[in-house]
Structure 1
């Protein structure tokens, strides 16, 4: 398992489980437009490996999955409530994302733990509409062992020649072991 595999598993866990429906993107260019909202963008910017020993490549790895949720809300005709609607939509999206990822059986069965979850909300009213962004980071701990890395290059043993020292006057035995098929 690696960061790319985890990222794709998180994307799969989110599709159809939030207000963003099928609009879960990874990888993609980060600029988004109003016709995409609500949208979720997923990336894995950090990967930290801690060795489990000196011999084989074995690690407890923490991969940070960054999930950005983006929404847009307008003020009502009678109220300046766009910021409030945006914040409520972001809070709902945050809860939906947490549930979708943490309750994903496919993901949970291959990781060790969700080490930490951090999230922030931001609402910007500098344009015509209120743009809201949720930034969530989930630290996922998983094991990486020799099977996750390329095999070590080795020199293939093709055969062994063994000669035994015998006392003078005896036949000298020679043993050849051919290891090729």
Structure 2
């Protein structure tokens, strides 16, 4: 397991489980347009490894998965309620994302824990409608051991010489070791 593996599992967990449907992207350019909304963008900007000891590459790793959800809502013809609709839609998207990721069996069976979940929402009325964005960060903790890293370059083992010293008068030992 590594940051890329976590990211791919999160993407799989989100596809077709939120209002964004299959519009879950990573990696891609971060600019989006109204015809794409709602859309979810996933990236892993932070990866922290804490050593579990000397001499062996073993780590408790925390990868921060950043999930950006974007959508747009327009005012009704009779009411100026686009901002309210956008915020409610973001709150719903946030709940859908949390449920999809935290309940993902494929993800949770490969990690130790969801260390922390942070989210913020914002609504902007600067365009045609009310553009809203959810920024969610999940700190996901998992173990990385020697199997995750490249094999260490070492001289190949050519053989081992074994000599058994026995006191005088002892019968010849019945041990034969051939490691060639």
1:112 equivalenced with 2:117 (yes/no): no
Deviations 1:8-66 (A, max 9, x none): 00000000000000000011110011111000000000000000000210000000000
Any gaps of 5 or more consecutive residues in structure 1?
164-176
1:133 equivalenced with 2:113 (yes/no): no
Counterpart of 1:19 in structure 2 is 19
Matched ranges for 1:12-91 at <5 A: 12-91=12-91
Counterpart secondary structure, 1:118 = strand
With structure 2 as the length reference, what TM-score do the two structures score? 0.89
Any gaps of 5 or more consecutive residues in structure 2?
164-177
Counterpart secondary structure, 1:60 = strand
1:159 is displaced (CA, Å) by 3.2
Structure with the largest fraction of strand? 1
Deviations 1:77-100 (A, max 9, x none): 000000000000000000000000
Distance in 2 of aligned mates of 1:126 and 1:19: 23
Counterpart secondary structure, 1:77 = coil
Distance in 2 of aligned mates of 1:24 and 1:158: 52
Change over 3 Å in CA distance of 1:91–1:54 after alignment to 2: same
Deviations 1:91-132 (A, max 9, x none): 000000000000000000010000000000000001111000
Distance in 2 of aligned mates of 1:89 and 1:162: 73
RMSD: 1.7
Change over 3 Å in CA distance of 1:60–1:75 after alignment to 2: same
Counterpart secondary structure, 1:136 = strand
Counterpart of 2:102 in structure 1 is 102
- Structure 1 segments, 4+ long, off by >4 Å, are 160-163
Counterpart secondary structure, 1:147 = helix
Counterpart secondary structure, 1:159 = coil
